[in-house]
Amino acid sequence: MMGIWMRTVLVITLIAACLFGCSRDPNLRKQKYFESGQRYFQKGKYREAAIQFGNALQVDPRFVDAHYQLAQAQLKLQNWNSAYEELDRTVQLDRDHMDAQLDLANLLLLSGDYKSAQEHVDAVLAKNPLNAQAHMVEANLKARQDDIETALTEIDKAIQIAPERSDLYQNRAILELQANHMDAAEASFKKAMALNPKDINPQLALGAFYQQRSRFSEAEQVFRRAMASDRTNPDPRASLARLFIAEGKKQETEQLLKQTKADIPNNPTAYRMLGDYYFATGDLDKAIAEYASLFEQHGNDLLTKKNYIQLLILKNRIGEAKKLNDEVLKSNPNDGEALVYRGQIQIREAQPRDASETLQQVLHNEPDNGVAHYHLGIAFDMMGDVSRAESEWRDAVRLKPDLIDAHKALSGAEMRNGEWDALRQTAAQLIKLQPNLPDGYALRAVAEVNRKQIEEGENDLEKAIAVAPNNPVGYIQMGNLRALESRPAEALKFYEQALARDDDAAEALLGIANVYLAQKQPEKAIARVQAQLGKRPANSNYHYILGSLLIERKDLAGSEAELKRAIDLDKNNVNALLKLGQVEVARGSADQAIATYLASAKSNPGDLRFLILTGELYEAKKDWDKAKEMYQKALQIQPDNPLASNNLAYVMLEQGGNVDVALSMAQVARRGMPESPNAADTLGFAYMQKGAYNSAIDLFKEAIKLDKNPAPDPTFYYHLGLAYEKTQQAGLAKQQFERALKINPSFSDASDARRHIAE
């Protein structure tokens, strides 16, 4: 008889064998991952769901349901390319997967590939002509191709097949809107509501319909009905908040969202709505205060923590943001959003190279991440790689068309490059995204004016004023247009209208000052700025404008005082910091200017101008080592910056440094600044030290030709004289030395020029 001990050992062994065998069973493993993914999906944790579905596919790459569910997760995450790939793989493995076929059709429809979308719809209808969903997709496909009659016919077929489906009537209402059948659209929305009174979606759609037609009281009634239908769902409250915003009811909006947080205290979407509203309306101080409170109450809510991190970054509270973000990454080193935040932090810390590496890591895992593409563009722009920056911004708006900041970054690049047709298109996208804001219209007006389409530009500015009559943007740009047209009285009128709407509209006050300066009336400009400062004494930009105007009066002491006041009010007022250094130099305080620029470089680590200007001041003092250090620091941030490259090359040549390295940097500078006389001179100086005297002579002549200053630079003539001397052209050399001394008898190399003449 087997002993108890032996029986126990055998049972344990059998259990262990079973467990070991079960853990290695691929079907069980993939199912475990799949079910975990479904649980995450149901909780709205789509990234986690995607990871688990991906794990299931690692076990079984032909697992059809996992491919399809991964596609659904990617759709929720708006990773359109990844979703398409998974749906396509689903259909490859199972041609009869009707849902995947129709999802593919919808994606292709949205991308404008109507032919391919039609093929997928046809495949479903060939298999099942009574598939209501397929007829609905067919209807939307026809509508996108402006065949609205066929679209309505198809949606009616869908309704005949499934008359109980309220979503079909809702879809029909949208098609009726496209056909401009307003009464029929309203009737269809109401039918959808009647079929499913508890479904808030038709109610929200009808409310939006009323809102778009300025039937605000009816919209409010419908939204409140939706709130009553589902008291724990924040969506109806969000719709009502949007209605209040459209009506300009700020107080009512704020009160509604505060009440929402109180009524639905445990719903993350509900309790975040107030902070999100502050963020969306640009009130970052209220937003960060609200999110600080939310983070204290809901510290385990990851999205709340992430939103708080984003706000801390925007408020430049980098230390706090970094600490919280590192906590997120410690828990999940591959968290895409947290890595994007790390990239933003590195950008704020003037570490664009590190930021680019971080953001490219994100894009390696999430190639469709439009936000990462946008910030990568910022990093490239800081490094001076303008073409790659623009490429990233174009990817950003392609992948995330509603990313306003990316459109604005792209528009800025297009303005810098004078790409007016491209700017016009970008502005049109902004108008589409924000039809009730003036920014897009103002940008398109800039494009039109530069395309010599003045009337179109003026029409856009009138539209900017019409959609936002209390926003100064349209008035400012209209003032700029009138100033450009040499109509100063009208320009002043529009600038004053802008200031009447916003006492802090610095661009409008600057416009007024410029009009008076153009009329040779600096005292009027000063008086107007002083009057505005009487209203807004704490406006840093106004003190900067006054400080700049006092230079026109030769009041350098007064200018310095105003610029320092501007900086006291705003430590990051870069224009005031730059101007202050210039005034200090003009007053003979070069050392004080150096101190100003060094402090400014520390507080604005991403702005190369302070480093370059400091280097130039050290150059003037013949302190070559410190000048070299400044230029090298600038090039660490932006390796191809042409001005820093030019100046460092010149210092190296003056110091007797590596001529080959200096020549390479001078070539970078010349490519980046082809119209700069200094870049031509530096490259010529490098060629001269390499013994390429004829090339040097050509470049020195080019520098003299490019120099448009009223007082020419004698150094260019001096260098040309040296090159002629090297080619045994003593007469020409002497002429150049004499010209240099005639321009400025005491220029930096004057004694050497005299010596060469004497020889």
Domains of the chain: 470-531 (1.25.40.10), 538-640 (1.25.40.10), 643-759 (1.25.40.10)
The C-alpha angle with vertex 666 and arms to 662 and 667, in degrees rounded to 5, equals 120
The alpha carbon of residue 39 and the mean position of all alpha carbons in its chain are separated, in whole angstroms, by 35
**What pLDDT score was predicted for residue 714?**
95
Q: How far apart are CA 389 and CA 640, in angstroms?
A: 14
DSSP state of 421: H
Question: What is the model's pLDDT at position 260?
Answer: 95
Say how far apart CA 685 and CA 279 lie, in whole Å. 54
**H and E: helices and strands count for the chain:** 44, 0
CA distance 203 to 206: 5
Residue with tokens 């968290």: 335
- Contact indicator for 499, 491 with CB cutoff of 8 Å: no
Phi-psi region of 78 (alpha: psi -120 to 50; beta: other; left: phi over 0): left
- Look up residue 155 and give its two tokens: 């949606």
**CA-CA distance, 423 to 201, in Å (whole number)?**
37
Measured torsion, CA atoms of residues 99, 103, 104, 105, in degrees rounded to the nearest 10: 100
pLDDT given for residue 10 in this prediction: 39
Give pLDDT, residue 743: 94
DSSP string, 540-590: HHHHHHHHHHHHHTT-HHHHHHHHHHHHHH-TT-HHHHHHHHHHHHHTT-H
Residue type at 148?
Answer: I
Any residues with CB less than 8 A from the CB of 236 and at least 6 apart, and which?
Answer: 200, 203, 204, 223, 224, 226, 227, 229, 230
Task: Report residue 575 as tokens.
Answer: 């224009």
Of 345, 389, 346, 395, the C-alpha closest to 370 is: 395
Cβ burial, residue 540 (10 Å; 0-12/13-18/19+): buried
**Number of Cα atoms under 13 Å in the Cβ half of residue 732:** 12
Which among 286, 288, 257 has a CA at the least distance from the CA of 270? 257
Structure token pair of residue 318: 């980098």
What pLDDT is attached to residue 24?
61
Low-confidence ranges of the chain (pLDDT < 70): 1-24
Distance between CA atoms of residues 259 and 263, nearest Å = 6
Supply the DSSP symbol for 10.
Answer: H
Residue 485 sits at φ, ψ, to 5 deg, of: -85, 5
- Cα distance between residue 505 and residue 521, in whole Å: 22
Tell me how far apart the alpha carbons of residues 648 and 628 are, in angstroms, rounded to a whole number.
6
Look up residue 423 and give its two tokens.
Answer: 């700017």
The residues, any chain, with a CB within 8 Å of residue 514's CB and separated by 6 or more, are 483, 525
Identify whether the C-beta of residue 117 lies closer than 8 Å to the C-beta of residue 141: yes
**Rounded Cα–Cα distance for residues 690 and 727 (Å):** 13
Whole-model pTM above 0.85?
Answer: no
Largest Cα span, the chain: 125
Residue located via tokens 């009707």: 98
